[in-house]
A = this chain, B = another copy of it.
């Protein structure tokens, strides 16, 4: 049974065919999700240069047939340690640096070919000032084309002025929540949509799993905000479970990392090194650790995460210092070619993705699977 649409409050609000919200750092994937009837959400944290983000959003505009899309920023509600690169550098203990260097050597990760140019990769987007520049660029685009309809924040409620600015531009604000308390704080702060992310999700997660967390947050926020279900969604059955549990749609991230359109990290034909690691991973091949950013985040389990688990490894530093500490290591790892040494957020659902498929096919299969689940459930009802 294929449905031409799956309607929830959120599909009506955004004018999309399916309640599938796809978070991805790849503009190719984000555009493909929106074209296929979902809502692609471009992760901005990798853009250190606002001009680059501007160019990419322009490309999104040209490649989405006028369909809506969103952006995702990493903006702590409380502004954490800020300052110049030099200020922050002095706060990192030398023994932490030595551990990282030694580990990279042990794992055979080569130095960066171009010296220090990539050193900042993945770092600056975590700083409040840079995240704020992402917001400004996105709002300019929203005003210009009216296609950006959603801004999501991965770290708590966004600051009040960002929420106000978004609303003035007709952009809905979403925020990730790992607990009932987070969700209530978001709604109180003026957030429009709560993304309830369970323990099994990739990246930053709390302790409570999707099965328990989603309906708990649905009940807690009631009519104040629709809830998107994140963490553990990979096929149409899980989308059916999400809607059965009272959410208004699904938020997926890990699924798209092995999509055919995902070109980040590609160095030639075939899957990239990171994709090779993702394709072979099972649901048991992730760990939740503070080593990526300083806050607990679920990552692919590799020799890199094993090294941080080994006896003698230092405790991770608080955000944003940990990301600064490992920023160069991440850049070095992402340029090496060993699938057993990658540093990549991924959820437990990674075990379901073992083939490279186009986004449109993935979404069509999800819609079919959703229909099958509904049909099966109707068949269970007695007289």
- Given the known inter-chain contacts A207-B284, A381-B6, A383-B4, please indicate yes or no for A232 contacting B244, CB distance below 8 A: no
> Judging by beta carbons under 8 Å apart, are A208 and B244 in contact?
no
Report the count of interface residues on A (CB-CB < 8 A): 55
> Judging by beta carbons under 8 Å apart, are A380 and B241 in contact?
no
> Judging by beta carbons under 8 Å apart, are A351 and B237 in contact?
no
A111 interface hit (Cβ, 8 Å):
no
CB distance from A241 to the nearest CB of B (A): 4
- Given the known inter-chain contacts A179-B284, A215-B238, A237-B245, please indicate yes or no for A380 contacting B209, CB distance below 8 A: no
For A158-182 the 0/1 string (1 means CB < 8 A from B) is 0000000000000000000001100
CB distance from A72 to the nearest CB of B (A): 22
Give the distance in Å from the alpha carbon of A4 to the alpha carbon of B381 in the complex.
Answer: 8
Give the interface centre of A179, A211, A351, A352 by most chain B CB atoms within 10 Å.
Answer: A211
Give the distance in Å from the alpha carbon of A304 to the alpha carbon of B216 in the complex.
Answer: 27
A379 CB contacts on chain B under 8 angstroms: 7
- Given the known inter-chain contacts A198-B211, A211-B200, A212-B232, please indicate yes or no for A380 contacting B283, CB distance below 8 A: no
A8 CB contacts on chain B under 8 angstroms: 380
> Judging by beta carbons under 8 Å apart, are B198 and A6 in contact?
no
Q: Which listed segment binds B: A25-33, A55-63, A305-313, A370-378? A: A370-378
CB distance from A246 to the nearest CB of B (A): 6
- Given the known inter-chain contacts A381-B3, A382-B3, A382-B5, please indicate yes or no for A243 contacting B210, CB distance below 8 A: no
Within 8 Å by CB of A377, from B5, B347, B348, B377, lies B377
A328 interface hit (Cβ, 8 Å):
no
Within 8 Å by CB of A209, from B5, B199, B206, B378, lies B199
> Judging by beta carbons under 8 Å apart, are A382 and B245 in contact?
no
For A34-57 the 0/1 string (1 means CB < 8 A from B) is 000000000000000000000000
- Given the known inter-chain contacts A179-B284, A377-B374, please indicate yes or no for A211 contacting B241, CB distance below 8 A: yes
Give the distance in Å from the alpha carbon of A244 to the alpha carbon of B234 in the complex.
Answer: 13
A20 interface hit (Cβ, 8 Å):
no
CB distance from A130 to the nearest CB of B (A): 32
Chain B, residue nearest A229 (CB): B211
Chain B, residue nearest A240 (CB): B244
A156 interface hit (Cβ, 8 Å):
no
Give the distance in Å from the alpha carbon of A12 to the alpha carbon of B237 in the complex.
Answer: 23
- A241-B241, A241-B244 given; 4 more Cβ-contact pairs under 8 Å: A5-B383, A211-B241, A212-B349, A377-B377
State the 6 A-B residue pairs at the shortest beta-carbon distance, nearest first: A5-B382, A211-B232, A241-B241, A240-B244, A200-B209, A209-B209
Give 28 A-B contacts (CB < 8 Å), ordered by A residue.
Answer: A4-B382, A4-B383, A5-B382, A6-B381, A6-B382, A180-B283, A198-B211, A200-B209, A207-B284, A209-B232, A211-B211, A211-B231, A211-B232, A211-B349, A212-B234, A215-B238, A216-B352, A237-B244, A238-B245, A240-B244, A241-B241, A243-B376, A243-B377, A246-B373, A246-B376, A374-B378, A374-B380, A378-B378
